Structure 1
Amino acid sequence: MTMIPSYGLDASSWWEDVNNSPLWQDRIFHVLVALYGVVAVVALIQLVRIQLRVPEFGWTTQKVFHFLNFLVNGVRSLVFIFRREVQNLYPEIIKHILLDMPSLAFFTTYALLVLFWAEIYYQARAVSTDGLRPSFFTINAVVYAVQISMWLILWWRPIHIIIIFSKMFFSGVSLFAAFGFLLYGGRLLLCPLIFLLHRHACVCMISYNYCLGKHGILTRLAVI
């Protein structure tokens, strides 16, 4: 009788072993702590470098971005370090706030980056950017208001459907930020390419007109 290898079962059992192993969980969380810690340190170094280089400009968009990046990744790193203590916090709403607040700050961080790119894009096209910052603050205010409302509901009465809705809300907000990221990041990426193509077309047109003019002059000289 031929034995059929059960690759799926082996993979499934391997995943179950890893998922149920405290040692593997500790290793994975230690890796996450290190990764988030490295990103936080790099963001802090960048913030200090920019502040030392141009201290007279105050809190620019770039400085706020690096500060929020440091804050988000630093808090996530601390949450992973003290994950067991966080899981045992009471009341439960404190745990939800500690786990959700970095996600809110993450949204604000990359929405700020999208704002920065949008300002560069519209300024390069000589379009007014007066409405960008009010839109940024309005969107963030709505997102924070919705999330704080869900926290208050969970504090009043822990409802499982609200927890699910909160996760779906964060997914939608992250998707919205990713869309803005791709939209204005892609536009900024395409702008230099379009500029080069336009410049090349102008050079070709000038050369063509020059050749036509020169050919016309030579024709007249030949006729004379």
Structure 2
Amino acid sequence: MAGSGAPTADEMLLRTLRNVWPALPALLFGSVAVCLASALTVLLAPGITPVSTLLAGLLVAPCAAALAEVGNALAAGREATVTGWWRGLRRLWRFGTAQGLVVAVPVAAFLAALAVWRNGGGAWVLPSLAVSGAVGVLALPALAAVLPLGAARGDLRGRRLWTCGLYLVARWPHRFLAGPALAVLGVWAAVHWTASVLLLVPGPAAVVAAAAVWTTLPDPRRPTTAP
């Protein structure tokens, strides 16, 4: 707002991009951690199954939450370091796990119901299939807003946090689709060129997600680390 001293959306975006270069070690370290957690999930539960989905919520989401905190630091103009990422992981692992399970549980329920239906389950499976599928479709894109927003705002938790995340994604879907689109592009590049490209995907996706949050709020404010 004029006269409030708060940065505009364009200023927030430029500040975030300017801070990327010195934060490359933290972004790379966080990306590697997310990839290692993903690889462990694949090793323990190959394929897209209810078990692998729940494992991803338990293993990958905490690392992603810490990486989202790095993105918040860039948007705030703070120094983003590997040590800061580690502190973020220690502070946010419970938060990240909880938010990951909010997404993983309905997706796992959908996959389980789909398996039952394919194996001859009757019409009684369809309501579960529809409800879990709808919740999963809503929760997956909202997670891109929930992680950076919740990492920065300790007062936003539970239903209030997810309501804010869903509102932001519904109001400006093109901004919040940028992160997932970047991730899909990275997976495509890894499949067609080299798997090592995957190590470079989570960091930029986290930066894009944080930028989407802090350039989308009606009154963009400097994200602060919750105590």
TM-score (norm 1): 0.31
TM-score (norm 2): 0.31
Tell me which of the two structures has the higher relative contact order, counting C-alpha pairs closer than 8 angstroms and 6 or more residues apart. 2
